[in-house]
Amino acid sequence: MGNTEPARVAAESQFPIIGNLRGEDFQSLESPVSRRAKFMPDFFPAAAARDWNDWRWQIRNRIRDRDGLERIFVLSDDERAALDRIGGRMPIGITPYYASLISRDDPGDPLRRTKIPVAAELIQSPGEYSDPLGEDSHNPVPGLVHTYPDKVLFLATDFCATYCRYCMRSRLVGKGTLLPNIAMWERALEYIRTHCEVRDVLISGGDPLIMADDRIEWLLQRLRAIPHVEFLRIGTKVPAVLPQRITPALVTMLKEFHPLFMSLHFVHPSELTPECSRACERLADAGIPLGGQMVLLKGVNDDAAVMKRLCTGLLKIRVKPYYLHQCDAIAGSQHFRTKISDGLEIIRALHGHTTGYAVPHFMVDAPGGGGKVPLSPDYRAGRAGDDQLFANYAGEVYRYRDPGF
Ligand SMILES: *Cc1c(COP(=O)(O)O)cnc(C)c1O
Ligand code: SF4
């Protein structure tokens, strides 16, 4: 710190301008090149490149309702029916940047399924609840979830840059019930100060990186001042949906609070754009270890080849795939949920077939507040006398002499 070259920082603060991206910049993109290059002039003709690269402009210009969607997308009957009846459920919010990654006329587009509601979202199936993880019953004070012995989840805000239709906190997000509020934060901080067993604070929401730098700094300073808090984490989807937010100023502030880790939420390799890559590079260069959190979603990423592209693509931008979450049983999630065995098969298709760093843990969050449970494929293939038999990634059976038998 202190010796950053101002000229370099200033140059880096400009994200690539969408209309000016060079051909090779698009090579990592899965979405058609022409769609993105034409998006800004077609739908935001009055915007300058400076606007597009400004995260606050992106937030102000989010697509929030049916009219906004229809200006860009050719909506299906199913999507229209959902929008007509959505009422006070989870709001719609899509940054122009993220909208530029979504197919305009294909309702089956993976990213589109996660952002534009369909009628199935309005149906509550058996076993689905608005708060499937029982978080509201592990709330010692508002905005704090204490489920495990030595770690807490700090819900700093309920605001997100984009709203994901499968969100496990859809009961909260975008409803204004958890506005970043100093009085509420003070109570949560007091709880952490008086609970010496809390070693690890995961700041999430909502999306904490939607708050202004000084708000985030205020919170990090107070958490860092608590002697028994060893480990800080921020959970965010910002690098995927609003990479413009990862400014040099933000990163310079964040790196004062090490050890600080980040969990970044991704669902599909088309999110790994040059802009996203640059945002992750900036965070990694500031010494922030990056973990990837994915949610397994039907019709989005429940395919071993797609998941492999996502996980190996994350490694290329210095994000270690950490968790692959089974989709929680929130109300209206049936159309997103896969069988647990599908997740295990995806892990099986990754392990050994690609670098171990690309293989996440597959987690099921126990309904009712039991916490996350890791599930893994069972490679054991019985015993033969003292030998444990097991199959390797290619299905060949090997034996190991197990001491003590
Ligand atoms: C996921 C979660 C955490 C963090 O869990 P890790 O396994 O350490 O990543 C903490 N608290 C709650 C309530 C959680 O759901
Ligand atoms: S960004 Fe995270 S908290 Fe916000 S809607 Fe998506 S999944 Fe939920």
Nearest atom of ligand 2 to the alpha carbon of 170:
8
DSSP state of 75: -
Tens digit of pLDDT for each residue in 298-344? 999 999 999 999 999 999 999 999 999 999 999 999 999 999 999 99
**pLDDT exceeds cutoff 80 at 374:** yes
CA angle 373, 283, 243 (to 5 degrees): 90
Write down the pLDDT at residue 113: 97
Nearest atom of ligand 2 to the alpha carbon of 168:
8
Q: Which domains does the chain have, with CATH numbers?
A: 5-121 (no CATH), 135-374 (3.20.20.70), 376-405 (no CATH)
Write down the pLDDT at residue 369: 87
Q: Are strands 260-266 and 397-401 parallel, antiparallel or unpaired?
A: unpaired
Write down the pLDDT at residue 58: 97
| 98, 173, 210, 271: residue to mutate for ligand 2 pocket, most atoms within 8 A of CB | 173
Looking at per-residue pLDDT, the higher value among 175 and 346 belongs to 346
Q: How far is it, in rounded angstroms, from Cα 292 to Cα 350?
A: 15
> Does residue 348 contact residue 114 with C-beta atoms inside 8 Å?
no
| Helices of type H across 76-212 | 77-85, 96-99, 110-115, 182-193
Tens digit of pLDDT for each residue in 199-245? 999 999 899 999 999 999 999 999 999 999 999 999 999 999 999 99
Segment 365-391 mean pLDDT:
94
Tens digit of pLDDT for each residue in 120-169? 999 999 999 888 888 888 889 999 999 999 999 999 999 999 999 999 98
What angle, 0 to 180 degrees and rounded to 10, lies between the N-to-C axes of helices 182-193 and 213-224? 20
| Helices of type H across 164-211 | 182-193
DSSP state of 106: -
Q: Which residues sit opposite 295 in a β-bridge? A: 325
Q: How far is the CA of 167 from the centre of ligand 2 (A)?
A: 5
Q: Is the CB of 158 under 6 A from ligand 2?
A: no
Place of tokens 């592209």: 309
Q: Is the CB of 235 under 6 A from ligand 2?
A: no
The rounded mean pLDDT for the chain is: 90
3-state secondary structure 236-291: ECHHHHCHHHCCHHHHHHHHHHCCEEEEEEECCHHHCCHHHHHHHHHHHHCCCCEE
Tens digit of pLDDT for each residue in 70-85? 999 999 999 999 999 9
